[in-house]
Structures are given as C-alpha cells and as structure tokens.
Amino acid sequence: MSELDHLSYDDLRGALEALLLVSSEPVSALELAKVLEASPGDVSEALADLAAEYSDANRGFQLREVAGGWRLFTHPGHHELVERYVLSWDTSRLSQAALETLAVIAYHQPCTREGVKAVRGVNSDGVIASLREKGLVREVGRGNGRAGAILYGTTKAFLERFGLRSLRDLPNLEDFAPDEESRQFIRERLSGRAVSSTLEEAAADIDDERELLEGYGSNDAEVDGRDGREPIAGDDDELAGASAWQDDWEDGVDD
C-alpha cells in the first residue's frame, strides 16, 4: 500500500497546502483526493479547516473555494502592496534591449519588425518574441504591402505594469531632449521619416547616376555619328569607372 494511505490529519493538511501552492488554477477536492489517495470527505474537511484557520489568523493569504475548486489567494488587504511589488519586479527583469524595443513599439505602434530594426539599428526579432511571451506586446494586424508584415502593438498588461491609464499617458520624449536638434531627431525617429528619407535619397542618387551613364553613351554616339571624329581618349575608361562606382553604390545601399 502507498504511504499516502497512512496520512495523519495533520499530514493531510500539509500535503494539501503543498499541492495548492503549485496549482495555478482552482483544484477540486475530488481531484486532490485522487492525488493523495485519500477520502474525498477527509480532504473537503481539511480544506475547510485550513480556510478557516487562515481567516481567523488574518494571514497574508487566503484559501477560497471558487469555480468548483480550491485555490490560494493573497489577502485583499495587501493587494496594493503586492501590485506595487510585482510591477517593480517585472519591470526590473527587462533587459536594456527589451526596454528599447518596447519603447519603440509603444511610441510607434503599430510597428513592424523592420520598423523596430530601423530605429534600434539591430535585429530585434528575438527581443520581440520575448516581449510577446511576457504579454507586453501582441500582433495587431498585417501591413498593406505584398509581404504583409506583422504589425505589433502593446497590450493592456503593458499599461498595467507601467502604471498607465492609456497610451496618451506615455511621457513626451521631446521633453527629455537637451536641444532642438535632439528633439528633431526624436521626431524623425518616431515618425520613421529619417529612414524613409534616407532610402529615398539613395534611390534618387542611383537614378542620377544612371542618367549620367546614359548621357555618356548618347554623347559618344552623337560625336561618332555626326562629326565622324574618333572617341575622345579615356572615354571608355571613364565610363567603366563610373559604371563600377554605380555598382558599388547600389551594393552599399542594398546592404
């Protein structure tokens, strides 16, 4: 026979406390009885006694029967203290990378992975996945592009853990900037204009170079066809050099 068959009443109470401490959901007396191989009646009696004992002693936790089962809860009188402690604990466990990523998403949501990368300058896929596991970030939709990139936003848990009633309560980052140049930089970073404008400028430069190269070719054709003159010495070398420069430029932009 199992040693559980010989549990004394005090041992039964202790065993119940141990099981309830590791239970994340209400557990019925019948289920506890099966685990302990004890009488459901004895288990129900022990649970009721424990609940009364905790209440009479005004302990910091309570045992309540809810949703068809029994579960330990913190005492309502300490909820404010517990909330403050838990919020502080959760926030302190976030790494610097997680805080940066969370800030980008919070201030620029809905935001894609590439949007976060554009601001932070590094790949943040792993950090975003971690924030999702912590319940601070969630998927809010898909982008309009052909790829349909996932859009991310913050959650209600984010507001609760940082003590915010809504996203409107987020502090204005420009208030922390030391000068106007820094404030402008923050505006561009948060709006994404800095990234898009850089890409647009790069694309415009490439177009200019292509037009320049096309101009070289058309001028040579005109000179050779109209005047019958020999191409100017060095034209081919210059054209090849310009073409190589364009290739290097485009490779750099793609990287």
Confidence bin at 3 (pLDDT 50/70/90): very low
Q: What are 9-43's pLDDT values in tens digits?
A: 889 999 999 999 998 888 999 999 999 999 999 99
Evaluate if residue 101 carries a pLDDT over 90.
yes
Q: Do 119 and 111 meet the contact criterion of CB atoms below 8 Å apart? A: no
Q: What are 107-121's pLDDT values in tens digits?
A: 888 999 998 998 888
Q: What is the pLDDT of residue 53?
A: 95
Instruction: Report helix, strand and coil shares of the chain as percent, to nearest 5.
Output: 65, 10, 25
Confidence bin at 169 (pLDDT 50/70/90): confident
In the chain, the N- to C-terminal Cα span, in Å, equals 70
Angle between helices 9-21 and 40-56 (to 10 degrees): 80
Confidence bin at 175 (pLDDT 50/70/90): confident
Which tokens belong to 192? 């994404």
pLDDT, mean over the chain = 77
Q: Which of 51-60, 70-79, 179-188, 202-211 has the lowest mean pLDDT?
A: 202-211
| Predicted structure pTM score | 0.40
Longest Cα separation, the chain: 115
In this structure, the strands spanning 69-74 and 61-66 are antiparallel
Of 196 and 116, the structure prediction assigns the larger pLDDT to 116
Decide if 3-74 and 87-191 have a common fold: yes
Q: Domain 87-191: which topology?
A: Arc Repressor Mutant, subunit A (1.10.10)
- Going from N- to C-terminal start, the domains of the chain cover 3-74, 87-191, 194-254
Helix or strand run (H / E) with residue 255 = none
Distance (Å, whole) CA 30 – CA 40:
6
Q: What is the CATH number of domain 3-74?
A: 1.10.10.10
Q: Which of 76, 77, 70 is nearest to 46 (CA)?
A: 70
Evaluate if residue 250 carries a pLDDT over 50.
no
Distance (Å, whole) CA 69 – CA 15:
16
Q: What is the pLDDT of residue 102?
A: 93
